[in-house]
C-alpha cells in the first residue's frame, strides 16, 4: 500500500457513517459478543478495542476480519470518539497510535522474516484478535503461534469460523497457525508453547504488541528474559512496544510495567542489537504524522530525558516501538545499563 498519498488521512475522510458488515449482526456473532461485553474483564476486552482500531483505520490497514473480531460495541465506541475528534479539529485522531503501531509491527515482521531468509516461527504473545496469520503474505513460510487466555482464543476461533463460512476469499496466509491457551504471568507458558509444536532451536520472531505493560515488573522481566535466552540458541527477533513511566499513569490500575530506556534494558538481558523508534519517526510514520505540531512529533523532538513537556506542562507520555535481535554468534554491542 502506498502510504505517501495518505498524509494525515483519518477514517472520517473516507467513511462519515459507520457501515458494519452483515456478519456483525448475525445471531452467532451477537451471542459471542454478549459474552465478551458482559463477562470479560478489561484486560481481555482490550483485544477487541485494538481490533476496532484496525477496522476503523481500514483505509491504511487491510484487515478484512477486524470488524467481526472487534464487535459492534467497540466499533461504535471508537467511531464516536473519532467523530468527536473530527468535529473538534483535533490534531490527533483516536486510533492513530494503533494504526501506526500495527503498520510498524507488520513492516518489522516482514523485515525480520526476510533477514532469516527462510522458514521461521512467529510467536504472538497476547495475540488477542490479531488476524495477521490471515492477512500477511510474508508469513507464508512461517509457523505462527498465538498465545492468549483460553476464553479469548475460544471466542476468536468461533468468530473466525463464522467469518470463514460466510466469506469466500478469506484464507490462512501463514504456513500453519496454532493457538496456545496460556497465561504468560505463569511459569508454564513456554512449556505449553513447546507442547504445541514450538521448537526453541528454530529462527523465531517474537511479537509482543500491546501486552507487556499489562504485566507487573517482575512478570514482564521474566517474559523478556525467557525470550532473550533464546538468542543463545538461534536467530531471535523481539518486536515490542514499551510505555515509559509517565504513560502508565494514564491508568495505574491497568498499566504496570514500564521502561524509560528499553534500548538499554534489552542489551542487559542478552540482545545484541536494539533499535528504538517513536511514533512519527521515519519508520513509524506511514503518512499519518504529517502535522509537525501534533503531539507525537512534538514529543519525539524533545530529549527522552525530559519528563514534563515545557510547552504545556503535561507529562511526556511516550510509546516506544522496539526491535531487538540476537543470535548465538553475536556479541553484545551496547552497554548493559538496567532500566
Ligand atoms: C491490547 S490487547 C493486544 C492484542 C494484540 N496483540 C493486538 O495488538 O491486537 C492485549 C491482549 O493481551 C492478552 N493478555 C493480557 N495479559 C495476558 C496474559 N497474562 N497472558 C496471556 N495473554 C494476555 C489479552 O487477553 C489481550 O488479548
Which of 34, 68, 87 finishes a domain?
87
pLDDT, tens digit (0-9, with 9 covering 90-100), for 136-195:
999 999 999 999 999 999 999 999 999 988 887 889 999 999 999 999 999 999 999 999
Q: What local confidence, expressed as pLDDT, does residue 169 receive?
A: 80
Neighbours of 182 (CB within 10 A): 20
**CA-CA distance, 219 to 326, in Å (whole number)?**
22
Report pLDDT digits (tens) over 235-274.
Answer: 999 999 999 999 998 887 899 999 999 999 999 999 999 9
Q: State pLDDT tens for residues 155-170.
A: 999 999 999 888 878 8
129 Cα nearest atom in ligand 1: 9
CATH code assigned at 162: 3.40.50.150
Q: Give the span between the Cα atoms of 122 and 203, in whole angstroms.
A: 9
Q: Domain containing 168: what range? A: 96-326
The set of cell numbers assigned to 307 is 519528563
Cell numbers standing for residue 273: 542489537
Ligand 1 atom at shortest distance from the alpha carbon of 49: 1
Place of cell 521474566: 222
* DSSP string of 93-141, one letter each residue: -TTHHHHHHHHHHHHHHHHHHHHHTS-EEEEEET-TT--HHHH-GGGTT
- Give residue 224's pLDDT band: very low, low, confident or very high (50, 70, 90): very high
The number of distinct structural domains making up the chain is 2
Residue 321 pLDDT grade (very low, low, confident, very high; cuts 50, 70, 90): very high
* C-alpha of residue 302 to centroid of ligand 1, in Å: 31
| Three-class secondary structure of residue 328 per DSSP | coil
Asked whether 193 lines ligand 1 (CB < 6 A), one says no
Query: pLDDT digits over 296-316, tens only?
Result: 999 999 999 999 988 889 999
Boundary (domain end) residue, out of 54, 87, 120: 87
Last residue of a domain, one of 19, 53, 87: 87
Side-chain-side CA neighbours of 168 within 13 Å: the count stands at: 0
Read off φ and ψ for residue 229, nearest 5 degrees. -60, -30
Reported pTM = 0.93
Amino acid at each position: 500500500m502506498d502510504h505517501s498519498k495518505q498524509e494525515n488521512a483519518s477514517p472520517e475522510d473516507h467513511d462519515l457513517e459507520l457501515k458494519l458488515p452483515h456478519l456483525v449482526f448475525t445471531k452467532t456473532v451477537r451471542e459471542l459478543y454478549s459474552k465478551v461485553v458482559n463477562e470479560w474483564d478489561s484486560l481481555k476486552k482490550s483485544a477487541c478495542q485494538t481490533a476496532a482500531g484496525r477496522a476503523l483505520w481500514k483505509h491504511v490497514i487491510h484487515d478484512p476480519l477486524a470488524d467481526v473480531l472487534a464487535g459492534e460495541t467497540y466499533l461504535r465506541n471508537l467511531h464516536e470518539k473519532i467523530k468527536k475528534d473530527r468535529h473538534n479539529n483535533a490534531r490527533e485522531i483516536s486510533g492513530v497510535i494503533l494504526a501506526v503501531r500495527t503498520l510498524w509491527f507488520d513492516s518489522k515482521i516482514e523485515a525480520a522474516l526476510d533477514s532469516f531468509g527462510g522458514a521461521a516461527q512467529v510467536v504472538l504473545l497476547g495475540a488477542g484478535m490479531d488476524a495477521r496469520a490471515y492477512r500477511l503474505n510474508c508469513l507464508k513460510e512461517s509457523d505462527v503461534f498465538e498465545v492468549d487466555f483460553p476464553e479469548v482464543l475460544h471466542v476468536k476461533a468461533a468468530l473466525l469460523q463464522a467469518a470463514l463460512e460466510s466469506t469466500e476469499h478469506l484464507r490462512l496466509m501463514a504456513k500453519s497457525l496454532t493457538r496456545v491457551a496460556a497465561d504468560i504471568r505463569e511459569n508454564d507458558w513456554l512449556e505449553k508453547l513447546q507442547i504445541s509444536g514450538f521448537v526453541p532451536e528454530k529462527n523465531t520472531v517474537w511479537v509482543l504488541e500491546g501486552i507487556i505493560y499489562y504485566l507487573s515488573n517482575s512478570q514482564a522481566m521474566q517474559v523478556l528474559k525467557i525470550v532473550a535466552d533464546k538468542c543463545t540458541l538461534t536467530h531471535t527477533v523481539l518486536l515490542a512496544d514499551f510505555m515509559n513511566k509517565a504513560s502508565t499513569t494514564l491508568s495505574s490500575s491497568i498499566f504496570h510495567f514500564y521502561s524509560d530506556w528499553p534500548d538499554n534494558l534489552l542489551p542487559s538481558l542478552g540482545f545484541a542489537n536494539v533499535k528504538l523508534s517513536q511514533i512519527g519517526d521515519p519508520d513509524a510514520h506511514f503518512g499519518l504524522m504529517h502535522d509537525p505540531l501534533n503531539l507525537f512529533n512534538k514529543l519525539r523532538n524533545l530529549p527522552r530525558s525530559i519528563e514534563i513537556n515545557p510547552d504545556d506542562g503535561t507529562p511526556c507520555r511516550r510509546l516506544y516501538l522496539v526491535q531487538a535481535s540476537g543470535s548465538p554468534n553475536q556479541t553484545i554491542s551496547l552497554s548493559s545499563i538496567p532500566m
